[in-house]
Chain A
């Protein structure tokens, strides 16, 4: 059995080793895919082995090495990182299954590169989840950007190149322009960047400086897709759908909001920020993002584009809930990271299986498709409930906590935003479900009959849809971790 320290290192080493083996097995696709699945399974086991410890209150950690005096590559497992690692590694298994069906069903080129980069991205994600200080987080954040770039530009077309430019350009420039100066400044002021309960900036800066530094951090972490630095996410939709599913519904975007929450809780400190009132502007910006992105989603006909803007809006929920700084809304933010992950990955899976089976990409083409692909669209409908925040789906619980937190803190603006955006969510998701099941399919003499997508894909999306429901009935683990985060 691994010691906790070994388990932390293994969480990064396993996908790295997997990437190497995948590259070596490039000539034998079946072996290569087996390696992917086995690696993912081992990773989940490793991450799960840490869960009981963290729930029991332990915070295992280690310093890998020191880059400069006082600037370490260090890891520590705390509740939030535990949850993030759990989500990412758990969904990697499902996603791998789905990817195998997808790349084969669509006869994608460069499949080995695809799986290698995927494993590398997961290794970087684990590094982010377990990072023990802001510097380590920054390093793995950049690694994640770079390792996902080949995935986004996978098709190698001009369109992919342009999408890749926006993706890399925006993510890299914001992290370099804002996050890096903020990081150096925090190190300069606090002499450390360690994630510490209660923050490391108490009594060190004026309220106005705190607000500016927070802005540098939040906009620097543009993986959280807060407007006006959200455009990389729709641009990244040129990627093959499994990439959009895992990276742009789970690993990359969740790394963004995860980092934002982590910075607010462990670098600035909830109390420090609350005393300084330094998050008022963030509530406004996040609230604006929620509404504006929903409005854009309402008018998008391309299914993946609509999902992308929905993601931007849902991510801003997490940022806003964290910015409210109320204990209940914090729990909501953490819960929403989990709830949105399983819900949105289901939606992307469905979009991908529609594309694979029927070669359709636009919402307006989906009339009656639910009759041909009942599993896919059934899962889609369940995930939609979660997005809107209706029971029996996980999204209901996180929204419940967010609204409670906002009400407790008498943030009526935030409450209004949540209510309004719920209506908008319903407005852009329910018509899809309605079309799929209740509108007769167009009489299309040229249409080739198609059924469901390949079996691995259907299994995958059924699994994540079930997880969305299960998380509603059994939200104990995420909730327990969230409570531990605010009351250590």
Chain B
């Protein structure tokens, strides 16, 4: 049987089947192997899909051979194949890492549940990315969200429960808003297929329900992607979740939500004149800038590294939304490439912080004093991640910043150019909080016997840190794909 035509379905089905298997098999080492295999197969499939799309264009796949728009359609183009690679690659790296990481953070009898929830979350995120059906987006969003709540609640600190609860409340509001928006669109266009919706919406453009749908979807998705000021859930969630979960969610969850926003804005609303009626660009611009500056400033005053970098994530999401607000090919390229670059950067940083938590017994700035002496390589890795957040040349972050600056210049907006570089200086300020603690303070006595980092943790982390530098130097994969995707999206906009 030839599986190649069915790769789009398998992309989601493989981790979906792995989830109940881990529950049935129960033994944590077996569950680990199943989850690991599922994530690696998912990675292989996503790379195959990316290659296929790069080679011969968009793939459509009718689930159960029910043709669109009646059945559910999976649709893989340059944009979401790129995202699939990001999500599955991060999962494939975080899973082996989690084996050793949750040892210290999650009670052993819950380990198999961790793997179940992890592959379910992966299923949800991959599903959101691959599906071409609006209601399906909502369903997969719920799958990924519900499993994410559980994953966060597994954190050792009791405050993890509160963090998960907070995320659950905010996430549910977001999902409800999204489904209201989708419902309104369904009412007006009579279809749930995203591409079809984009065609038919021109007949009803500018009507009040469509505008309302736009508003509901914007707010709902913005909650999920933690757009300032709807980011309240994020710092707690990232801080109190187990390290592996922080790493996985920080690198993927918000990025997939941004993708949903891009998909609705450009594929669905793209052809209608909705944007002409509402100052969407200006609104997004203001929110993005507010996020970049407010969250970075808050980050400077944090005393825990996980929380510090969580606020940094809110700020970096500001960059992504800023690129989107330019409504130009280079702006969108910046957004899309920053999805990836920030994903790997933040993933690496949270994985490193997990190593720190294991070695030093915590991630507060007071505890990581002298980290440069205690764990020189880990500490250096965090510095590299920090440089990428600042956008120093030679790191992935620089590439995103370059395109963002270019997009601002194309619009002739010099003041934005300066605001962008100014905000990267704020990043320098919060990164330097870490540098000074790690290199200019004597290590504490109680961190004298640092536990060696298990190789299962250090190897995947090192791969991701190297990726930060690699994608700062070789941009053929990232920019190549992002530029194509941006051009295609802007094509839909006309």
Contacts and interface: CB of A to CB of B under 8 A. Distances in A.
Interface in A144-161: 146, 153, 156, 158, 160-161
Contacts of A68: 399, 402, 475, 479
Interface string B364-407: 00000000000000000000000100011110000100100110
A276 interface: no
B409 A138 contact: no
Contacts of A184: 402, 405-406, 409, 417
Nearest to A156: B440
A185 interface: yes
A301 to B, nearest CB: 28
A254 to B, nearest CB: 21
The 9 closest A-B pairs by CB, nearest first: A139-B393, A184-B405, A161-B440, A181-B417, A176-B421, A188-B409, A177-B421, A173-B425, A142-B393
B418 A177 contact: yes
B440 A153 contact: yes
B391 to A, nearest CB: 8
24 contacts: A67-B475, A68-B475, A68-B479, A71-B402, A138-B393, A139-B394, A143-B394, A146-B387, A153-B439, A158-B440, A160-B440, A168-B432, A169-B428, A173-B425, A173-B428, A176-B421, A176-B424, A177-B422, A180-B405, A181-B409, A181-B414, A181-B421, A187-B406, A188-B409
Interface in B436-494: 436, 439-440, 473-475, 479
B348 to A, nearest CB: 18
Question: Which among B414, B436, B440 has the highest number of chain A CB atoms within 10 Å?
Answer: B440
B377 to A, nearest CB: 13
Interface in A170-187: 172-173, 176-177, 180-181, 184-185, 187
A161 B441 CA distance: 10
Given A139-B394, A161-B436, A180 B406 contact: no
Nearest to A165: B432
Given A68-B479, A138-B393, A156-B440, A185 B421 contact: no
A68 B479 CA distance: 8
B157 interface: no
Contacts of B391: 176
B417 A65 contact: no
B475 to A, nearest CB: 6
B380 to A, nearest CB: 11
Contacts of B417: 181, 184
B410 interface: yes
Nearest to B440: A161
A161 B432 CA distance: 11
Nearest to A69: B479
Interface string B170-181: 000000000000
Contacts of B421: 176-177, 180-181
B179 to A, nearest CB: 40
A156 B406 CA distance: 39
A167 to B, nearest CB: 12
Interface in A63-77: 65, 67-68, 71
A67 B399 CA distance: 9
B473 A67 contact: yes
Interface in A114-131: none
Nearest to A145: B392
Interface in A216-253: none
A177 B399 contact: no
B440 A177 contact: no
Given A67-B475, A161-B440, 15 more contacts: A65-B474, A67-B473, A68-B402, A68-B475, A68-B479, A142-B393, A142-B394, A165-B432, A169-B428, A173-B428, A176-B428, A177-B425, A180-B421, A181-B414, A181-B417
Contacts of B402: 68, 71, 184
A161 B392 CA distance: 21
B293 to A, nearest CB: 15
A309 B409 CA distance: 37
Given A176-B424, A188-B410, A146 B436 contact: no
Contacts of B439: 153, 156
A165 B429 CA distance: 10
Contacts of A142: 392-394
A389 to B, nearest CB: 38
Contacts of A67: 399, 473, 475
A168 B392 CA distance: 13
A71 B421 CA distance: 20
Contacts of A71: 402
A177 B420 CA distance: 9
A176 B473 contact: no
A185 B436 CA distance: 34
A145 to B, nearest CB: 9
B341 to A, nearest CB: 13
A406 B405 CA distance: 39
Contacts of A158: 440
B405 A181 contact: yes
Contact of B406 (A139, A153, A161, A188): A188
A482 to B, nearest CB: 30
Contacts of B475: 67-68
B392 A146 contact: yes
Contacts of B436: 161
Interface string B192-214: 00000000000000000000000
Contacts of A173: 425, 428
Nearest to B401: A180
Nearest to A141: B393
Interface string A185-211: 101100000000000000000000000
Nearest to A71: B402
Contacts of B422: 177
Contact of A172 (B405, B418, B428, B479): B428
A173 B432 CA distance: 13
A173 B421 CA distance: 9
Contacts of B473: 65, 67
Contacts of B394: 139, 142-143
Contacts of A160: 440
Contacts of A165: 432
A168 B440 CA distance: 15
Nearest to A158: B440
